[in-house]
Amino acid sequence: MSTDYRNFQLIIFSDVSIFNIKYFMENKNYKSDKLFLEKHLRVVELVNGDKRLLLTPDLQGRVLTSTANGENGYSFGWLNYNLIASGKFLPHCNNFGGEDRYWLGPEGGQYSIFFKGSSGMGFDFEDWQAPSLIDTDKWELVSSNNQTVTFTKSAVLENFSGTLFSCKLDRTVKLLDNNTIATQFGIEIPASVDSVVFTSSNLLTNTGDFEWTKQTGMLSIWILGQFIPSDKNTVIIPFKKSETARINDSYFGKIDADRLTVTENALLFKGDGGKRGKIGTPPEMTTPFAGAYDAENGTLTIVKFSFYENSDHVYVNSMWEFQDEPFKGDVINSYNDGPLEDGSIMGPFFEIETSSAAANLKPGDSLLHTHTTMHFKGDFESLNEISLQILKVDLNYYLNLKSNDLFC
């Protein structure tokens, strides 16, 4: 994200059992996360053998966490235990966590839906407010079975320029089996690797009476995933070279050279929760994949999403300023959390985010953005085989880089 909501002081609520929260954090696995979440939220579970997924309609149908190894398996999603357990909402924004949540852009600029132009305050933190639609609202649970769940919500949003968007958001999440994975993605998962793969299909419909254009401002679908960092975790974003576009690596200040390596075909960004930073790729440089390799926990995470190469689609700009180019934004973003100046920290966690094109929709038209999250857990050689197939990145090559120790 390009927000500064992480500057909140950490709040410990008096009616929250700190001992219990500490237990869940220190004994984190899928079973403990499930027990914790069921105490505080309505939970929907998708199950296919040892592949499992937890979601909730109470928080916009977000995927909270998943596992590839059954009840006692590794739990992939980062959760904000304190905030969830408090039962309270914070001002401005509530970062509950989760592996896949439906947000909308743009965040900043003259077409932002997080700021009100009528306030006269510009783009200051005090005036920034995440719409309740994507922050605190409960969504309707339409249907569910063991492998699929669907949610919906309708609302009217106002942007900074005063345009009112009547819209309907629909979201279906599916837990995929190995045969479907092989068919859809053309990969065979080695027998030695445990996996869980799920896809969210996110629909945005214009339910109003006018077309959304560059003159009115346009919304975009923005999917965010928050995951567990480690000292040996590296975000991997393959990219295409461009003569005109560039990587954005200065959202929260320039990224240190020892935290970001740019190779011939990929960005390698430390996802260790050790220092705040964010990177983004523009559409000219985007391939529809991103991932993270965690050498400490033996996991490879890959995200695949809908992206239309060589198209005339534009992407919204979320920078907190009045923008010269409001439709020249990023497609993929990755954020690494870290301590603030006072030593407090929201996570730590790291994020992989993807955005749809700007929604140029006539009344009744819809935009679909799909976002697939794949988790693989196994030995290095098998994970490298998957990385080569999907990301086109040889982990062996990067292990031998002398300029950094991202994987070491």
Alpha carbon 154 to its chain's center: 22
Task: Confirm if 103 and 240 have CB atoms less than 8 A apart.
Answer: no
Task: List the structure tokens of 4.
Answer: 């500064």
Q: Give CA–CA dist 77/132, Å, rounded.
A: 22
**pLDDT for residue 187 is more than 90:** no
Task: List the structure tokens of 254.
Answer: 């320039």
**pLDDT for residue 347 is more than 90:** no
pLDDT on residue 406: 56
Handedness of CA 109, 135, 64, 348 (dihedral sign): positive
The parent domain of residue 331 ranges over 5-399
| Residue that has been written with the tokens 């500057």 in this structure | 7
Residues 263-308 pLDDT 10s:
989 999 999 999 999 999 999 999 999 999 999 999 999 999 999 8
> Does residue 404 lie in a domain region?
no
pLDDT on residue 2: 47
**pLDDT for residue 372 is more than 90:** yes
> Does residue 237 lie in a domain region?
yes
**Residue 299: CATH number of its domain:** 2.70.98.10
C-alpha distances in angstroms, 145 versus 119, 141, 226? 45, 12, 25
Choice among 151-155, 200-204, 224-228, 396-400 with the minimum mean pLDDT: 396-400
**pLDDT for residue 90 is more than 60:** yes
- Rounded to two decimals, the pTM is 0.92
pLDDT on residue 402: 42
Q: Give CA–CA dist 101/177, Å, rounded.
A: 22
Closest CA to 335 of 180, 208, 221, 227: 227
Closest CA to 228 of 344, 352, 342, 340: 352
Residues 7-47 pLDDT 10s:
443 444 444 454 466 666 678 999 999 999 999 999 999 99
| Segment 85-98 mean pLDDT | 94
pLDDT on residue 399: 61
Closest CA to 280 of 105, 122, 58: 105
Percent of the chain with pLDDT over 70: 91
> Does residue 408 lie in a domain region?
no
pLDDT on residue 21: 65
Average pLDDT of the residues of the chain: 90
> Does residue 66 lie in a domain region?
yes
The residue ranges of DSSP E strands in 115-181, in sequence order, are: 140-144, 148-158, 164-176
pLDDT on residue 337: 93
| Segment 202-228 mean pLDDT | 98
Structurally, the chain folds into a number of domains equal to 1
pLDDT on residue 51: 97
> Does residue 303 lie in a domain region?
yes
> Does residue 350 lie in a domain region?
yes
> Does residue 108 lie in a domain region?
yes
Compare 252 and 207 and report the one with higher pLDDT: 207
pLDDT on residue 6: 41
Residues 303-334 pLDDT 10s:
999 998 877 899 999 988 899 999 999 999 99
Q: How confident is residue 250, by pLDDT bands cut at 50, 70 and 90?
A: confident
